[in-house]
Structure 1
């Protein structure tokens, strides 16, 4: 039997294999033979570049500038990540700055730029050089469509400067802006004139992800004025101790009138009490998705009152909600009846996931009968993760799911019951 030789493989297959390697390993593989060296010049290998700005810079050292010179013009998506905890390499840090400078000189035009865990534990001089290199590189971009700063560990002014430069150079084409955990809670950006001016320049913006504490009526007003194409607003709510005044109902009406297709996603993390959530959830929000992760810690001096939270969602957003996800820990409130009400009253809801206590496993049978008897076909995903399932409950669940299995298959409904603490899944 003839044995296939590596050098006989088509170049596009070798290039695809190279795309799974780290940049340093790609360069090493390119020295093996002429066919591999030729495959190394394939644009598809270098179109998406991801590397750690501290660790990989140390490994590549002098080769990183060479990558920018030889292959930088192929790069369309660049992601720079900082190690957490950061790796204090001292001698090769200038290579990363030189890499950005070379991309700027070669006028490399990206489509996407991501800065993840962006921050420094180094001395001020190096931080200043990196900030300057990033600002200059962003300033030469003219076709950037997506800009992300996720989990920033720098001063708010550094983040604001980068956002402002991106808006100034690419405001007419920037469609996706992701600022999740970019502004620390103690240094909110919602009152910054530079931030408002940046948003006013983003006329093509369609997707914005941001923390709730970075929003204000002025920010929503700026979004309304800048882009009438804004369709997705993803809001992350993670803590309440540093909130400013909640957004007013009036400003949500302005946003809806300006952006007709706007869809809002609230992701609530480690917040439990109804009083806190009700202050944010005003009636005019075009709320499409709502995910609640309550966390395990709360103020024992008052009730979390999840029933009121669920009822508020049903009453105010029954015509807009498409996706609901409740991950409720240590809860003992009776919510079984409200799950049935959510199904019947939320007319657009097609995905529901509930991870919490069910008082009676018979509620699962009631839910299944409700789907079948009312011919509810809009649902695509329905997941339940009941807590405290015993041996008797397991038998009940298994019997219910067996009886309705054919119906779920016929309706193409992903109906799943599982135990959160084990690998047992009941179909």
Structure 2
């Protein structure tokens, strides 16, 4: 039988192996010398996506140790309620810590239906190790972890990752464990940071003042999730401070995600005219009409994406129509309740840049799929 590697050029093999899961890469590396060379070359591993499901058995493949030297951008998926899956993810993260040239980007994602909010200390300790050793780490995304993040991790990132450009801590958790003081330390230690995701309670007036400093590098994106009790109790940030930050960074875009835990008085404190809101996600248990009207009247120049979870009503229909008329730059609108035909007509008529929308005129089985605009 002919050597399989002779049937395809190495660059073709490399392209194929880039898209294979970890197990399949390991098997390909055992076929022949040519396939082994292609499966372990740096181009295959520079941008890597690895998934550890709960069926994962044993430790990492032996050949992977050498390949880890080439991993710079990693997306790692694991099953949080599966001990073997978490163990494999932890082992991989620890193995990556301190590699040369080392990680530039790390995104962690949990899969599966059973998410253990009380677990995950092993994984977070491994992330802590990475932050202490990966001096060139530029992007860290923890939004898809269901575990409570804490000050120790943020402070470790501040001390160990001076080149950070983006950090996302606005994850789906029941407790906000990151305090404003650690975020302030992070901003001071990472002057090139340009994108940050937080729970609202982690942001402070002092942090806005650091961002507004004259020598601050351009800051472009801030995601704020408002969902846990700490966010409800957070002190309001002055509108003047937001205006100062906006003048210092005219390209700044803010994403606001408001969850059912927020009472009406908290919503009114968060939605301030000077905040350059580009993405607004409203999933409130109380008034929705007021926030939609506020967005229409104050965020018309900045709003690009609106997502609304509400019960159908005449009030929400009228508010959405006013928003469509005022927010000509809107690119996406997703309303998860049935609306009247005049709402859909308004967005079609006034929002020329609209790329997709979820505006259902009749009730349909969930999940609702958006309509793409040609």
**TM, length-normalised to structure 2:** 0.80
Structure 2: give runs of 5+ residues left out of the alignment: none
1:161 maps to 2:152: yes
| 1:309–1:74 distance in 2 versus 1, CA, 3 Å | same
Aligned position for 2:136: 143
| 1:278–1:367 distance in 2 versus 1, CA, 3 Å | same
Q: Separation in 1 of the partners of 2:369 and 2:352?
A: 28
Structure 1: give runs of 5+ residues left out of the alignment: 299-303, 390-417
| 1:170–1:187 distance in 2 versus 1, CA, 3 Å | closer
- After alignment, is 259-268 or 144-153 more displaced? 144-153
Aligned position for 1:398: none
Q: CA RMSD in A?
A: 3.9
Aligned position for 2:278: 288
Q: Separation in 2 of the partners of 1:52 and 1:4?
A: 30
Q: How does 1:371-390 map to 2 (within 5 A)?
A: 371=349, 376=350, 378-381=352-355, 383-386=357-360, 388=362
| 1:253–1:363 distance in 2 versus 1, CA, 3 Å | closer
Contact 2:48 2:73 in 1 (8 A): yes
Q: How does 1:115-154 map to 2 (within 5 A)?
A: 115-117=108-110, 127=122, 134-152=127-145
Q: Quote how far apart the aligned CAs of 1:334 are.
A: 2.7
Query: In structure 2, which of residues 248, 251, 254 is the aligned counterpart of residue 258 of structure 1?
Result: 248
- After alignment, is 100-109 or 314-323 more displaced? 100-109
1:323 maps to 2:305: yes
1:176 maps to 2:157: no
Q: Quote how far apart the aligned CAs of 1:352 are.
A: 3.1
Contact 1:185 1:213 in 2 (8 A): no
1:205 maps to 2:185: no
Q: Separation in 2 of the partners of 1:313 and 1:236?
A: 17
Q: Separation in 2 of the partners of 1:189 and 1:426?
A: 38
Query: 2:235 is paired with a residue of what secondary structure?
Result: coil
Aligned position for 1:247: 237
Number of residue-to-residue matches in the alignment: 366
| 1:71–1:253 distance in 2 versus 1, CA, 3 Å | same
Q: Separation in 2 of the partners of 1:109 and 1:76?
A: 6
| 1:246–1:132 distance in 2 versus 1, CA, 3 Å | same
Q: Quote how far apart the aligned CAs of 1:74 are.
A: 1.0
Contact 1:327 1:354 in 2 (8 A): yes
Larger radius of gyration: 1
Aligned position for 2:326: 345
Aligned position for 1:78: 74
Q: Separation in 1 of the partners of 2:89 and 2:354?
A: 46
